[in-house]
Amino acid sequence: LLLSDPPKSDELEVSIFGPGKGEAIAVHLGGGDWITVDSCRSQSKGTHSILDYFEAIGVNIEQQLKVVVGTHAHDDHIAGLGQLYESAKNAIFVCSAAAASEEFLVTAEADKSVAAGLRSSVRREYLRILDEVERRGRERSGFAPLKRAVESLPLWTRSSTPGRAAAEIVALSPSHVAVTRAQRDLATSALAAPNGTKRFANRDPNEFAVALWVSVGSQRILLGADLLSGPAGCGWQAVLANVSVSGKAGIFKVPHHGSITSHHDGVWAEMLEVNPVALIAPFRGGRKHLPSPADLARICALTNSGYVTASPERIAQRESTRRISASLGGVASNVRDPWGTPGHVRARKGKDDAPWHVEMFGPAMDLATALKSK
C-alpha cells in the first residue's frame, strides 16, 4: 500500500509519528471518524506530521476529526497542537483535569509577569487552543468544546449504525488523587508567591497525563500517553485499581517512549491481549534517549510485534551531508538527514478476526531491528 492510500471505511487504523522531539497519534475509528492524540512537527522542515498525513490520505479535517487530545503539557507532545485544533473545526479538545502550571495560568489569564519562568512554547500552544475553545463555545450554543479528562470519564461516544460499529473513548487517567496533587501544588505556589516572585512549582506533567481506552465494536486500543507507573494513587497503579474496562487491547501505544518509569506488569497482564502490537516514538530531546537498550529488550520479551518510528539514537550526520546542509542554510538542513525527520508506523485492521497489518515509513523500524543495531 502507498502512504496516500486511505483506510477503508470499516478499517481501524492507529498511526504514530515521531520524533520531532516527541510524538503524535492518529486513530481511525471506522466510518470516517478520526481522533488525534498529541502533535509533532518535523524539526528539520517544520512541517506538521498529522496535518500532512491527513492531506495525503484525503481526510476532511473540519468534518472528520472529532476529538483532539493533548495528553500533557510537555513540549515533545504539543508542537503544532494549536494549529491542529484550529483546523479541526468540529472537534472537542481534551486535556488533563490535573493542570500543570502552564495550563492553569493560561486559564486564569495570568499576567505575563506571573508567567515568567514557565515554558513559553507550552504556554503559547495552550493560549491558542483555549482561545479557539472559547470562540467555539460562544459561536455555537449547545456545543461544549472542552473536556477535562479524569479517570473513567467517557470523552466521546458513537452509537452503531448499519456498517459502522459503536465506538467509545474513555479516559483512564489522571486519577482523582493526581488531580488533588496538582491542585495542591498550584495552591501552594500561589499562596507562597502572590506577586509572582517565586517560580511556580512544576511537578512532572507525565504524572497527570491522559491515557485513553478506545473501543470500536469488539476491538480495543490502549493509548498510554507518557503516564508513569505511580506514585501511589496515580499512574498505571491507579488505572489498574480504579478503572474497569471490558475486553483487552490488541494494540498499545507504549507509554513514555518505552521508559521503565511507565512500565507496569499489570497493564500487560490485564489490559492487553497476548503478543499485542506495541508502538513507540523515541524521545531524543534529553541527555538520556528513550527507549534505552534495556527498554527495548524488556518490550521485545513481552511482544514480538513491536515497532518504533525511528532509531532512539541520534544518527551521526555524514560530513558530506553536514557540509551541504550548512551551505544551504536553514532551507534544506534535512538533506538526507534522518535526524529531525519523523518516521511513521501505521497499523490497520479490517475484520475482527484479522490481525493488525503494520507498515513502516521513513526511519521507522521494528523493535528487534532497533535492538540489534545497538
- Least Å distance, CB 192 to Zn ion, is 29
**Residues paired with residue 364 on neighbouring β-strands, in sequence order:** none
| Of residues 132 and 226, the one with the C-beta less far from Zn ion | 226
Handedness of CA 320, 325, 326, 327 (dihedral sign): positive
Region from 18-26, 58-66, 82-90, 153-161 binding Zn ion, contact rule CB under 5 A: 18-26
- Least Å distance, CB 18 to Zn ion, is 9
| Of residues 177 and 225, the one with the C-beta less far from Zn ion | 225
Q: Decide: 205 and 74 in contact? Cβ < 8 Å.
A: yes
DSSP for 236-279 reads HHHHHHH----S-EEEEE-GGGG-GGG--HHIIIIIEEEEEEEE
Region from 21-29, 212-220, 238-246, 289-297 binding Zn ion, contact rule CB under 5 A: 21-29
| Of residues 22 and 196, the one with the C-beta less far from Zn ion | 22
- Least Å distance, CB 76 to Zn ion, is 5
| Of residues 22 and 224, the one with the C-beta less far from Zn ion | 22
| Of residues 27 and 216, the one with the C-beta less far from Zn ion | 27
Asked if 38 touches Zn ion (CB under 5 A), the answer is no
**How many chain residues bind Zn ion (CB under 5 A)?**
3
- Least Å distance, CB 86 to Zn ion, is 23
| Of residues 196 and 306, the one with the C-beta less far from Zn ion | 306
SS3 content of the chain, % helix, strand, coil (to 5): 35, 25, 45
Angle between helices 176-192 and 235-242 in degrees, nearest 10: 140
The single-letter code of the amino acid at 22 is G
Region from 33-41, 60-68, 119-127, 221-229 binding Zn ion, contact rule CB under 5 A: 221-229
Region from 73-81, 88-96, 136-144, 365-373 binding Zn ion, contact rule CB under 5 A: 73-81
Q: Pairing between strand 219-223 and 212-216?
A: antiparallel
- Rg over alpha carbons for the chain, rounded to the nearest Å, is 20
Asked if 295 touches Zn ion (CB under 5 A), the answer is no
- Least Å distance, CB 11 to Zn ion, is 28
Q: 87 vs 46, 50, 61, CA distance in Å?
A: 17, 11, 7
H/E stretch holding 178: helix 176-192
| Of residues 167 and 223, the one with the C-beta less far from Zn ion | 223
Alpha carbon of residue 259 to chain centroid:
15
Region from 14-22, 101-109, 159-167, 336-344 binding Zn ion, contact rule CB under 5 A: 14-22
- Residue 148, Ramachandran bin (φ over 0: left; ψ between -120 and 50: alpha; else beta): beta
Region from 149-157, 172-180, 220-228, 235-243 binding Zn ion, contact rule CB under 5 A: 220-228
User: Residue 218 is placed in which grid cell?
Assistant: 469488539
Asked if 76 touches Zn ion (CB under 5 A), the answer is yes
Q: Which residue carries 537498550 as its cell? A: 293
- Least Å distance, CB 99 to Zn ion, is 18
- Least Å distance, CB 71 to Zn ion, is 9
Q: Pairing between strand 167-171 and 154-158?
A: antiparallel
Region from 68-76, 197-205, 290-298, 360-368 binding Zn ion, contact rule CB under 5 A: 68-76
| Of residues 129 and 209, the one with the C-beta less far from Zn ion | 209
**Residues paired with residue 361 on neighbouring β-strands, in sequence order:** 344
The single-letter code of the amino acid at 355 is P
94, 226, 249, 308: which one binds Zn ion (CB under 5 A): 226
Report how far residue 287's alpha carbon sits from residue 296's, in angstroms, rounded to the nearest whole number.
18
Q: Which stretches of the chain bind Zn ion, using CB under 5 A?
A: 22, 76, 226
